[in-house]
A and B are shown apart, each in its own frame.
Chain A
């Protein structure tokens, strides 16, 4: 009976994050009619990330985007720091190879996401902001399982041939349809972030940068008070993004509060030289999916595909959180598969199967598989505390000249290892697990 109802649009995209806006753009560009629905009053107003966008995939959609989009800085320096209560051991990687072609840029989502959505609008996408989608409209599908035919927002119903669920990590759409289960808490982390204002010149002096260059600091160890996770400190044009990512099972077990851990980070003496006199301009939080490939469930069903973090496509390698690039990659794959399915007149799960095929052939699911062991590896607690202490002891042995005769580095390391709770066996086993996971 409802078969006869003409759809209002070819495609409804729910969520104007990077996944949704890129999918909408690409669909409209290929001639489909598209509505993009966003619950925030403007795209980006509900979104938050650490902010390092690995941009090569976006370059495929918008060549040279970094020259046009509101990006903050081009990352030419990656610093990895093991923090202990009173020491910091860092590995500093800087390279001109990171600058040309642009590898990664920092973005602030409240500025970047509106730009992406405006590109979609220019391509003909109809943007509906300030509208929360409440439910999917379904009908019995060919095999008895539900077929998605549209969405409901308040009193309004909109129909389409295909719905794209780009509604982020909490994806109520994928959940309501039973495509995503309730995640175990070791597959989720909470990110707590603040943006701190500092003059441009001060940032460049403190982080050793010139012009539009940027630095990304990944921090592990005492910054999380032993809770599985890590912290980040990224440079924007005139602000810093500082945040902590805490695995939920570990946070609950620790007996500490997220606020307490965040405050510990903010006041950590190891970060004080970077943060001095900076003004808090915003404070926010957001979940991170970090279940790896195991979290990616069914991503195409009758009349609907799931993209970006709604599909669990995020990688936490321990030192970086990657999600925006995977969101964009999945959006490209989904859009092209939808165009194909609509043209063939088959938008059932099998008609849309080209989506997963494309994901498997590209970098998205390959990287998810490559980093598939990372979640397990990160659960090995040594990463967070004892190794930082060990490294600090080794370097203290080398640089802490207290008029006692020096030993060779190997001797220093042996002794530090002997005094550390880390055993050689654990070191080798974790090292091997790390090499395999990362």
Chain B
């Protein structure tokens, strides 16, 4: 998985993450487990009941946002010029 992502080019926005989770809502709505399951980049993982977010690996598909319960996840595109750059597509 990580070797496949290594072939990609990412421009990391050091100043701000484009993904924020509400831990309590992620737990109570089951969103946390869904995020871990659907993300093709493995951005989300769970440790001791907390959802960890490795936003630098995001492929910007928006799948996480589509499965999240209202309020559990705030996701938008990274700022212009940041994030993944596809060279093939």
Interface band, chain A: 35 or more
Contact B84 A46, beta carbon cutoff 8 Å: yes
- By a CB distance below 8 angstroms, the chain B residues around A49 are 89
Q: How many residues of B contact A (CB 8 A)?
A: 36
- By a CB distance below 8 angstroms, the chain A residues around B83 are 46
- By a CB distance below 8 angstroms, the chain B residues around A183 are 66
Nearest chain-B residue to A112 (Cβ)?
B89
Contact A252 B86, beta carbon cutoff 8 Å: no
- By a CB distance below 8 angstroms, the chain A residues around B4 are 194, 280, 283
Interface presence of A251 (CB below 8 A): yes
Interface presence of A188 (CB below 8 A): yes
Contacting residue for B86 out of A46, A154, A256, CB 8 A: A46
- By a CB distance below 8 angstroms, the chain A residues around B86 are 44-48, 109-110, 282, 284
**Which residues of B pack against A, CB within 8 Å?**
1, 3-5, 7-8, 11, 34, 36-42, 59-63, 65-67, 76-81, 83-89
Nearest chain-B residue to A189 (Cβ)?
B63
Segment with Cβ contacts to B, from A115-123, A257-265, A418-426:
A257-265
Interface contacts beyond A48-B89, A192-B40: sample of 9 additional A-B pairs, CB < 8 Å, sorted by A: A46-B83, A185-B66, A190-B38, A239-B88, A257-B36, A257-B37, A282-B7, A284-B8, A285-B40
Known: A185-B66, A284-B59, A285-B41. A259 touches B1 (CB 8 A): yes
Contact B89 A251, beta carbon cutoff 8 Å: no
Nearest chain-B residue to A167 (Cβ)?
B77
Contact A109 B8, beta carbon cutoff 8 Å: no
Q: How far is the CA of A195 from the CA of B19 in the complex (A)?
A: 27
- By a CB distance below 8 angstroms, the chain A residues around B40 are 190, 192, 258-259, 262, 285
Contacting residue for B62 out of A108, A169, A239, A280, CB 8 A: A169
Q: How far is the CB of A218 from chain B (nearest CB, A)?
A: 20
Interface presence of A130 (CB below 8 A): yes
Within 8 A of B (CB), among A104-154: 108-113, 130-132, 153-154
Contact B88 A195, beta carbon cutoff 8 Å: yes
- By a CB distance below 8 angstroms, the chain A residues around B63 are 188, 190, 248, 258, 285, 287
Interface presence of A29 (CB below 8 A): no
Contact B61 A280, beta carbon cutoff 8 Å: no
Interface presence of A172 (CB below 8 A): yes
Contact A287 B84, beta carbon cutoff 8 Å: no
Closest 6 CB pairs of A and B: A109-B89, A110-B89, A285-B40, A132-B80, A283-B4, A130-B81
Interface presence of A212 (CB below 8 A): no
Known: A46-B84, A190-B40. A283 touches B5 (CB 8 A): yes
Q: How far is the CB of B24 from chain A (nearest CB, A)?
A: 20
Q: How far is the CB of B70 from chain A (nearest CB, A)?
A: 8
